[in-house]
């Protein structure tokens, strides 16, 4: 059974430059030995495999000595960087010195956390005085042990220490006993504003026991917010009374309490009270969370047949956050469409087109403008505008319509059988042409050489050669974050792909894609083969992997899902037992899900195929079930919205997707289906 996650990679700098140049058909490769401005040549940076073994053994001295033998002076610094991030492997003085001299390096938050831990064990008063400053520890939240060590030589009157204490109080000390010990010693440093900020942070993390401990230190509005989480049945009435009194006295009320109360009323099914709140005291709330709560309430009202009220609640006039406003415009337009108020729908989608920036949102707006227009010329123009974004769900639907004379697609794009039809094959060929026409950043041989000899590009190649792939990707991401030039980012994505870091290639490609320049090869990689279950169309598994894990074999979710297809260990073992076609003999361990990509893919594909069969071949429903869980889909299929299994053509299925109550799942379905179409067109269905 395969256990390695390693992909074929050529870590030498010469291979890197050749790989970058190979991505450009008209760019020659640099000659071996070509010098760079830093004195490193293309022949340099050949990673020593013995360094990899020393790193695995945590033999830091040997690893550094071996790395120093190479021609690249960056190599020993990289060994230091790896060591300093390892718990209990370095002193506070060493970590602080590295932080001071390597300001732009990735992993700074980890290094600062290690510095905090090392200070907790430090006994030298001079070191503690020098390093216990708020500025130096600003990237982390010091523990009580760190504060105690620093407090052995400093008082709140010392420069920076009071700020460090306040920072720790606001952002950390999550255990009630730590908070009590802190207050016993440093209560005089804390201001009422610090108490309020800490309480808000605890509620945001849902750290209710710690919030309980300090409820007496905050105002009545915050106490009610905690009560709404602890005892909503009784707290709702008290919160409503408090808000009414505040609004009558001052004309406003605490915004956070208003949001929490609106959420509690909605969750408890008190829709009338929620409507009254949004129509009165909460009407002026304008941030993203207010927009999200308005949207959720509007969807439930619409599902309950209270369409007019739903549309009023979804009015985005008060919302200033761009993303939340766009979501409400989309929802309002779709609800108007469902009520056959085509003119109002067109107005909403026109506003969305003016507001949107991301390719997916622009394609969405123009697709619906075509559906809500009446004259032929406008329909054609809007479908054409949407089809300019062929990597997106709505861009692809618009392209399929254009291929069929701006009518519904000539094939069913939402079932495996439909996607295997002759008409679907013609569409895939047309999509391939549209993808090939997308402008891709180009670079010269000189640019490739310059990029490959950058310190962070060299660091990536060296780390991959030492089998340190997870740390390696941080350097490429740092390049892409610091340098927004599309060519530089495209070279970083190509380096990631060449060195076997598909997750970094996808991440960087998404950065560029948000600016309207999708990078096809790095953005939709094909690192591992897929068995090919006949129940599934080509490309669907790859499209799902791209959305689930971005091809990161080590991806882990807070819920415990693991690996490429984000499988829970229990689910993986159930599939292995009941489906011998998956070819995996149970038991399936967490290590297997993370370290054996083919095992993860085989089990995930079998699970997805089972969902497609369970939901009568409907790909959107099966993909939604993969994200939200099959039980939740059973509930949705039995409710007014989204409703029963969609059938009857493109518009019925699109309406069903738009009716999914969770934005995460709505977006997930659209992204996965769009990814799958790109794989079918651009890569012939692989992996």
DSSP string of 613-648? HHTTTBHHHHHHHHHH-HHHHHHHHTSSSS-SPP-S
Model pLDDT for residues 182-233, shown as the tens digit of each residue:
999 999 999 999 999 999 999 999 999 999 999 999 999 999 999 999 999 9
Model pLDDT for residues 305-322, shown as the tens digit of each residue:
999 999 999 999 999 999
* Average pLDDT value for residue range 271-288: 97
Q: Is the dihedral of CA 32, 33, 36, 40 positive or negative?
A: positive
Q: Where in the chain is the domain with CATH 1.10.530.10?
A: 540-682
- Say what the pLDDT of residue 33 is: 35
Are 227 and 238 a contacting pair, CB within 8 Å? yes
Q: Where are the alpha helices (DSSP H) in 59-107?
A: 60-68, 74-84, 92-101
34 confidence band (pLDDT: 50, 70, 90): very low
Indicate whether 424 pLDDT > 90.
yes
Indicate whether 43 pLDDT > 90.
no
DSSP letter at 134 equals T
| Whether the model pTM is above 0.75 | yes
Indicate whether 541 pLDDT > 60.
yes
Other CB atoms closer than 10 Å to residue 124's CB: what's the count? 13
Residue among 513, 607, 507, 611 at smallest CA distance from 549: 507
* Average pLDDT value for residue range 94-107: 96
Average pLDDT, the chain: 92
Q: How far is the C-alpha of 381 from the C-alpha of 373, rounded, in Å? A: 10
Q: How far is the C-alpha of 172 from the C-alpha of 143, rounded, in Å? A: 7
The CATH code belonging to domain 540-682 is 1.10.530.10
Are 375 and 382 a contacting pair, CB within 8 Å? no
């Amino acid at each position: 059974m395969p256990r390695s996650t390693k992909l074929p990679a050529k870590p030498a700098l010469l291979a890197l430059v050749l790989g970058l140049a190979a991505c450009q058909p008209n760019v020659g490769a640099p000659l071996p030995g070509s010098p760079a401005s830093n004195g490193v040549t293309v022949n340099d940076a050949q990673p020593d495999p013995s360094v990899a073994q020393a790193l695995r053994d945590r033999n830091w001295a040997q690893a550094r000595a071996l790395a120093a033998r190479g021609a690249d002076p960056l190599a020993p610094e990289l060994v230091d960087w790896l060591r300093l991030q390892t718990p209990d492997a370095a002193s506070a003085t060493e970590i602080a010195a590295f932080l001071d001299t390597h300001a732009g390096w990735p992993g700074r938050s980890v290094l600062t956390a290690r510095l905090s831990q090392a200070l907790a064990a430090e006994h030298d008063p001079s070191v503690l005085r020098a390093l216990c400053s708020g500025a130096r520890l600003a990237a982390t939240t010091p523990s009580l042990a760190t504060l105690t060590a620093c407090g052995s030589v400093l008082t709140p009157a010392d420069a920076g220490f009071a700020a460090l204490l306040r920072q720790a109080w606001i952002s950390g000390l999550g255990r009630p006993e730590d908070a009590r010990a802190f207050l016993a010693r440093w209560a005089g440093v804390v201001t009422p504003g610090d108490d309020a900020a800490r309480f808000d942070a605890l509620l945001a993390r849902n750290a209710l026991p710690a919030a309980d401990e300090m409820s007496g230190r905050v105002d009545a509005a915050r106490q009610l917010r905690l009560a709404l989480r602890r005892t909503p049945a009784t707290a709702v009435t008290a919160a409503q009374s408090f808000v009414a009194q505040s609004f009558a006295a001052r004309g406003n009320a605490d915004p956070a309490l208003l949001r929490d109360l609106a959420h509690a009323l909605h969750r408890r099914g008190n829709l009338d009270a929620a409507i009254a709140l949004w129509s009165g005291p909460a009407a002026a709330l304008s941030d993203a969370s207010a927009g999200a709560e308005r949207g959720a309430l509007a969807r439930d009202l619409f599902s309950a047949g209270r369409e007019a009220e739903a549309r009023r609640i979804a009015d985005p006039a008060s919302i200033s956050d761009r993303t939340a406003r766009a979501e409400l415009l989309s929802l309002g337009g779709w609800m108007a469409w469902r009520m056959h108020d085509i003119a109002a729908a067109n107005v909403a989608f026109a506003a969305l087109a003016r507001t949107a920036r991301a390719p997916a949102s622009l394609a969405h707006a123009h697709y619906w403008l075509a559906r809500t227009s009446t004259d032929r010329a406008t329909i054609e123009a809007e479908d054409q505008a949407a089809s300019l974004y062929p990597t997106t769900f709505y861009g692809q639907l618009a392209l399929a319509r254009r291929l069929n004379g701006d009518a519904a697609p000539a094939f069913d794009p939402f079932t495996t059988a439909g996607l295997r039809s002759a008409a679907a094959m013609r569409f895939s060929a047309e999509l391939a042409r549209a993808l090939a026409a997308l402008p891709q950043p180009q670079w010269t041989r000189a640019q490739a050489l310059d990029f490959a000899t950058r310190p962070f590009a060299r660091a990536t190649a060296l780390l991959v050669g030492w089998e340190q792939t997870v740390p390696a990707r941080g350097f490429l991401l740092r390049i892409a974050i610091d340098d927004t030039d599309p060519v530089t980012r495209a070279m970083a994505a190509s380096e990631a792909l060449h060195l076997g870091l598909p997750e970094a290639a996808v991440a960087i490609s998404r950065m560029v894609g948000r600016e309207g320049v999708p990078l096809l090869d790095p953005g939709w990689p094909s690192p591992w083969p897929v068995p090919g279950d006949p129940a599934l169309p080509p490309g669907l598994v790859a499209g799902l992997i791209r959305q689930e894990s971005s091809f990161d074999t080590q991806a882990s979710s807070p819920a415990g899902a693991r690996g490429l297809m984000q499988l829970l260990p229990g689910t993986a073992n159930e599939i292995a037992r009941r489906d011998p076609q998956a070819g995996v003999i149970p038991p399936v361990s967490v290590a297997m899900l993370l370290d054996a990509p083919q095992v993860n893919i085989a089990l995930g594909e079998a699970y997805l195929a089972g969902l497609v069969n369970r939901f009568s071949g409907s790909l959107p429903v099966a993909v939604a079930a993969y994200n939200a869980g099959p039980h939740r889909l059973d509930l949705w299929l039995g409710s007014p919205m989204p409703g029963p299994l969609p059938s009857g053509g493109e518009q019925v299925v699109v309406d069903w997707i738009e009716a999914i109550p969770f934005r995460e799942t709505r977006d997930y379905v659209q992204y996965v289906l769009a990814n799958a179409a790109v794989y079918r067109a651009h890569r012939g269905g692989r992996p």
